[in-house]
Amino acid sequence: MLDMQFIRDNPEVVRRAIEVKKFEVDLDRLLECDVERRRLLASTEQLRAERNTLSKAVGKAKPEEREALKTKAREVGQQLAEEEKLLPPIVEELEQLMLQVPGIPAPEVPVGDGEEDNQVLRHWGTPREFDFEPRSHVDLCDGLGLADFERPPRFAGSRAYALKGDAVLLEQALLRYALDVVIEDGFTPVSPPVLVREEALVGTGFFPLGYNDTYRTERGPLFLVGTSEVSLVSLHAGEILDAEQLPIRYVGISPCFRREAGAAGRDTQGLYRVHQFMKVEQVVICENDEETSQKEHLRLLANAERVLQGLELPHRVALACTRELGLGQSRKHEVETWMPSRGAYSETHSCSTLLDFQARRSNIRYRPTKDAKPSFVHTLNNTAIASPRILIPVLEHYQNADGSVTVPKVLRPYLGGRERLEPKA
Active site residues: 258, 273, 347, 350, 389
Determine the Cα–Cα distance for residues 396 and 137; give it in Å rounded to an integer: 6
Mapping DSSP to helix (H, G, I), strand (E, B) and coil, where does residue 281 land? strand
Length of the chain: 425
Determine the Cα–Cα distance for residues 207 and 99; give it in Å rounded to an integer: 8
Determine the Cα–Cα distance for residues 345 and 116; give it in Å rounded to an integer: 12
Q: How far is CA 181 from CA 295, 354, 385, in A?
A: 18, 24, 11
* Closest listed residue to residue 374, CA positions, set 296, 293, 287, 290: 287
Cα 145–chain centre separation: 34
Helix/strand/coil (H, E, C) string of 187-254?
A: CEEECCCCEECHHHHHHCCCCCCCHHHCCECCCCCCEECCCCHHHHHHCCCCCEEEHHHCCEEEEEEE
* Closest listed residue to residue 205, CA positions, set 236, 229, 241: 229
- What sign for the dihedral angle of Cα 381, 101, 96, 85? positive
Rg, the chain, Cα only: 27
Contact 325, 357 (CB under 8 A): no
* Closest listed residue to residue 37, CA positions, set 98, 99, 88: 88
List the strands of the sheet with 331-339, edge to edge.
119-124, 315-319, 331-339, 344-353, 378-387, 276-286, 248-257, 188-190
